[in-house]
Amino acid sequence: MPREFRWRGETIEVEAVVRTWRETGPCRNGSPEVYVRKHWYEVVTRSGARMTIYFERQARGRKGLLSRWWLFTVEEAGVADS
């Protein structure tokens, strides 16, 4: 779990991890095994925003620019659910 990451040119500092979970899936080669595909983290940042990020075990992206960490949701500090 990163202590900080860059998003849109800004350094985001992780203050606390609220919860974690894993996403699993079957083997893609026909074996009966189940593998972890993604590690999910719901975090609170130093600025108070709540973010959901995840780590993909298999990197994806353009050749030479493979990404494994992804930002999924952002709830800015002070924004309440309706």
Tens place of pLDDT per residue across the chain (82 aa): 789 999 999 999 999 999 999 999 988 888 899 999 999 999 999 999 999 999 998 876 666 567 888 999 999 987 665 4
- Return the pLDDT at 38: 94
The residue count for the chain: 82
- Return the pLDDT at 57: 86
Classify 72 in phi/psi space as left (phi over 0), alpha (psi -120 to 50) or beta: alpha
Q: Which residues contact 35 (CB under 8 A, 6 or more apart)?
A: 24, 25, 26, 27, 57
- Return the pLDDT at 81: 56
- Return the pLDDT at 48: 96
